[in-house]
């Protein structure tokens, strides 16, 4: 069964496209204003202003695949549908609430770093190094945690294939996937309207336990120090791009869950498990890839390491982050298509 797209969802994607195009036009204009200047940015590696914007957008996409987001949207959507209430935009409201905190934090950090960089320029380089270690380290931690989640879901998948899985236990386990979701799971019982997800998104944003947000703030901080003549509000393009990436994935997840529960797409638990396996493995791959490139880029830049491998790291650090964003988005699509065809060809036949 193919999920249908409602008129409201079509309008959302049109507006999302317009906003995203506008943000990238803003980014291109800013890039033109600073010329071809390279900046020591994003956690101690060198990258162009434009490529950092693409990376901020990509971090937003990756952030939406975190287990906390999946669990929150899954839980609230299922509850509202059971109560026969509107649930189309649970993902969007959650993402907007979360983004509010991210934008405020980024804005505050931009102001703080701009002040410090003006008064004590020598602290900028140290801040970039610390930013790299924190961001890359967090990405590895998130990658490992999500990998453990992947294995636990895979065990459920094997049990489901044998026909020995209780679907209620499956739902309970999936809704406790993330760190915040595990401790605030009962909070979703108060969700009576889909816009209640906005304050819950704010609360999850205050948790600030994900590497993508850390990396975004590192980007914002580094550019704030490097481009002292750019107006402060212009640097908000980075958290706004992050928000655009996160909202499109969170909202799409909400649409999918709404259709899945509303039209009984998950008639068999394996379908839901397979969906979660796909979402989780994407998060794992991106976390490890970006975290590794961050840390290797830091090593190359700080110790001036030479050789073909380190030259490649230097190239990625200087001009390649924007291309990496495109590669990551392509990985999303390839992983989804591969997962879909494997399910259709090898698994779904055995469920009928």
Q: Which helix (H) or strand (E) holds 178?
A: none
- Give the tens place of pLDDT for each residue, 7-51: 888 999 999 999 999 999 998 888 777 654 444 444 333 346 777
> Above pLDDT 90, what percent of the chain?
10
- Give the tens place of pLDDT for each residue, 241-266: 999 999 998 998 888 877 766 544 45
Average pLDDT for the chain: 75
Q: 34 versus 65: which is more confidently predicted? A: 65
Mean pLDDT of 329-350: 77
For residue 60, pLDDT over 80 is answered with: yes
Smallest CA-to-CA distance from 53 within 330, 294, 249, 242 is with: 242
pLDDT of residue 278: 81
For residue 277, pLDDT over 80 is answered with: yes
Q: 171 versus 302: which is more confidently predicted? A: 302
Alpha-carbon distance of 319 to 49, in angstroms, equals 10
pLDDT of residue 246: 92
CB atoms within 10 A of CB 142: 26
- Identify whether the C-beta of residue 226 lies closer than 8 Å to the C-beta of residue 215: no
Q: Write down the domain spans for the chain.
A: 7-30+39-347
What residues does 41 pair with on adjacent strands? 45
């Amino acid at each position: 069964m193919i999920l249908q797209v409602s008129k409201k969802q079509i309008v959302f994607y049109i507006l999302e496209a317009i906003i995203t195009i506008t943000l990238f036009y803003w980014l291109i204009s800013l890039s033109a204003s600073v010329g071809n200047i390279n900046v020591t940015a994003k956690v101690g590696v060198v990258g162009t202003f434009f490529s950092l914007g693409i990376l901020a957008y990509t971090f937003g996409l990756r952030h939406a695949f975190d287990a906390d987001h999946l669990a929150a949207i899954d839980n609230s959507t299922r509850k509202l549908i059971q109560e026969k209430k509107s649930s189309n935009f649970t993902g969007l409201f959650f993402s907007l609430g979360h983004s509010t905190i991210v934008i405020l934090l980024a804005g505050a950090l931009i102001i703080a770093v701009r002040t410090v960089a003006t008064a004590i320029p020598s602290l900028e380089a140290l801040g970039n190094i610390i930013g790299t270690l924190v961001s890359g380290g967090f990405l590895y931690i998130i990658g490992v945690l999500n990998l453990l989640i992947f294995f636990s879901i895979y065990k459920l998948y094997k049990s489901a294939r044998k026909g020995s899985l209780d679907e209620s236990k499956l739902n309970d386990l999936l809704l406790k996937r993330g760190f915040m979701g595990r401790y605030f799971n009962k909070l979703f019982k108060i969700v009576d309207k889909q816009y209640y997800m906005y304050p819950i998104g704010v609360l999850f944003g205050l948790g600030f336990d994900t590497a993508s947000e850390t990396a975004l703030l590192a980007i914002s901080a580094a550019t704030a120090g490097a481009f002292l003549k750019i107006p402060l509000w212009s640097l908000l393009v980075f958290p706004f791009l992050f928000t655009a990436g996160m909202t499109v994935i969170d909202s799409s997840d909400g649409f999918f869950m709404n259709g899945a529960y509303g039209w009984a797409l998950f008639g068999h638990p394996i379908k839901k498990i397979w969906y979660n396996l796909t979402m989780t493995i994407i998060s794992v791959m991106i976390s490890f890839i970006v975290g590794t490139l961050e840390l290797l880029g830091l090593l190359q830049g700080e110790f001036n390491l030479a050789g073909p491998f380190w030259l490649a790291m230097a190239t990625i650090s200087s001009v390649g982050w924007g291309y990496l964003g495109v590669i990551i988005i392509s990985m999303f699509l390839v992983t989804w298509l591969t997962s879909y065809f494997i399910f259709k060809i090898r698994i779904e036949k055995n469920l009928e």
